[in-house]
Amino acid sequence: MRINHSSRSLRAFSLIEVTIAMAIAAVALVTLLGLIPQGMDTMREAGDQAIMGRIHQQILNEIQLTPFEDANGASLLEKYDKMEFYYDAQGEELSDSRSPAGDPEREKGSFGHIYSARVSIPKGGTGTLPKSVGGAGYKGIKLDDSPTGPQNVNVRPVIVEVAPVGALGATFDFDQPNNFRLIKAYQTMIVKMGQDFQK
Q: Per the domain annotation, does 111 fall within a domain?
A: yes
Structural domain includes residue 160: yes
Domain count, the chain: 1
- 120 is in which domain, residue-wise? 39-191
Length of the chain: 199
| Distance in angstroms (rounded) separating the CA atoms of residues 59 and 69 | 18
* Residue 175 Cα distances to 82, 115, 116, 159, 178, angstroms: 11, 16, 13, 14, 9
130 occurs within a structural domain: yes
pLDDT of 121-169, one tens digit each? 888 777 788 888 888 888 777 767 666 667 777 788 899 999 888 755 5
In a domain, 109, yes or no: yes
Please check whether residue 2 lies inside any domain of the structure.
no
Q: What is the pTM of this model?
A: 0.69
Would 143 be classed as within a structural domain? yes
In a domain, 182, yes or no: yes
Whether 61 is in a domain gets the answer yes
